[in-house]
Amino acid sequence: AKNKAAVKVALFEPNLLNARRLHRVLAAELQDSIENNEMVLHYQPIVELATGKLLGVEALVRWQHPTRGLVMPDEFIDLAEEIGAMPNLAAWVLQTALARLRQWQQTLELDPRFTVRVNISATQLQRPYLLDDVQRLLLAEGINPSALVLELTEYSMVTGNEWDLYSFQGLRKLGVGLAIDDFGTGYSSISYLRTLPVDGVKLDRSLIGGPTDGGASRPFIAAILQLVKSCNLAATCEGVETLEQAAMLTELGCETGQGYYFGRPVPAADITSSWLESFQG
Ligand code: C2E
Ligand code: CA
Ligand code: CA
Ligand code: CA
């Protein structure tokens, strides 16, 4: 019945037909995007709130499309999942981020605690060979597992799949950092804090947005941070856009922050020693 309704709408909605055509075209283009070297990673700083020191970067993928310009991940990750391109893309992201990290380790003076954070999607986590991939890539690049943090959206944890926990435990044993991403959004479950073998939590930017633009109140954020702390997990807040937000989070004891206030995601070429110096507190 659902399909019938969709067809009916499509017949009377030319835009939807266009949208479907675009969807097909994009899907075909996406299949070839890695081979064509069209994927790029940008890196966004993550700083220690108390000192302003750079403690890491999050790798964020973009599609540098030959005619459509820079396409953001929200516009193609779901599509990549749908057409089965995600394993390839995910492996490319991991490999590229780790190769870059090795280069930085060799040429820049990084904080000893510096980590690269990579997003892991739901389907990736369900693959039994995620652990092998991560292990192999770390070894190939000669990277200490503790310099890699995988950010797992809570959505990816609700499947109840046995492999999920297997992957989690294996990755944890390997020494890779694991963090729950987008905490405080729709798919949240407080029970993950207790039941999953993770070491950190990333609070979603919708929480930090500030009371006037739909963010949570200070007491609410304080309570969440307390909860996270009581589970012995490290807290990072994303979406920090103002000095006031940074100050509040520092006061509330949040360890690290990420957001436009500290810096936007930048191409790898921008990450130089002078860029690094701007984070020396
Ligand atoms: P996310 O993991 O929650 O990443 C944070 C998003 O917030 C990024 O969007 C970032 O550019 C944006 N952001 C950072 N600071 C601020 C700020 O101060 N204000 C505002 N308004 N936004 C900020 P982006 O790069 O468009 O990525 C969107 C989502 O795509 C990510 O959300 C992540 O879930 C997904 N994604 C990105 N790269 C990858 C990847 O390599 N693999 C997978 N599976 N997912 C990815
Ligand atoms: Ca993330
Ligand atoms: Ca988020
Ligand atoms: Ca997200």
pLDDT digits (tens, 9 = 90+) for 209-268: 866 777 788 999 999 999 999 999 999 999 999 999 999 999 999 999 999 999 999 999
Q: What is the structure's pLDDT at 225?
A: 96
Q: What is the structure's pLDDT at 209?
A: 83
Q: What is the structure's pLDDT at 14?
A: 66
**Contact call for residues 109 and 69 (beta carbons, < 8 A):** no
Choice from 60, 123, 206 to test ligand 1 binding pocket (greatest atom count within 8 A of CB): 60
The rounded Å distance from CA 7 to ligand 1 centre is 33
Q: What is the structure's pLDDT at 203?
A: 94
Q: What is the structure's pLDDT at 145?
A: 97
Q: What is the structure's pLDDT at 226?
A: 95
Task: Tell me which residue has its CA closest to atom 38 in ligand 1.
Answer: 60
The rounded Å distance from CA 18 to ligand 2 centre is 31
CA pair distance 172, 231, nearest whole angstrom:
16
**Alpha helices, DSSP H only, in 209-242?**
218-230
What backbone phi and psi angles, to 5 degrees, belong to 143? -105, 135
The rounded Å distance from CA 206 to ligand 3 centre is 8
Residues in the chain, pLDDT under 50 = 1-2
Task: Tell me which residue has its CA closest to atom 45 in ligand 1.
Answer: 119
Choice from 95, 96, 119 to test ligand 1 binding pocket (greatest atom count within 8 A of CB): 119
Task: Tell me which residues have their CB closer than 6 angstroms to ligand 1.
Answer: 44, 60-61, 72-74, 77, 93, 119, 121, 151, 181-182, 205, 238-241, 258-260, 265
Q: What is the structure's pLDDT at 38?
A: 97
Query: What is the model's pTM?
Result: 0.92
CA pair distance 166, 158, nearest whole angstrom:
14
pLDDT digit string, tens, across residues 266-281: 999 999 999 999 997 6
Contacts of 172 (CB under 8 A, 6+ apart): 178, 197
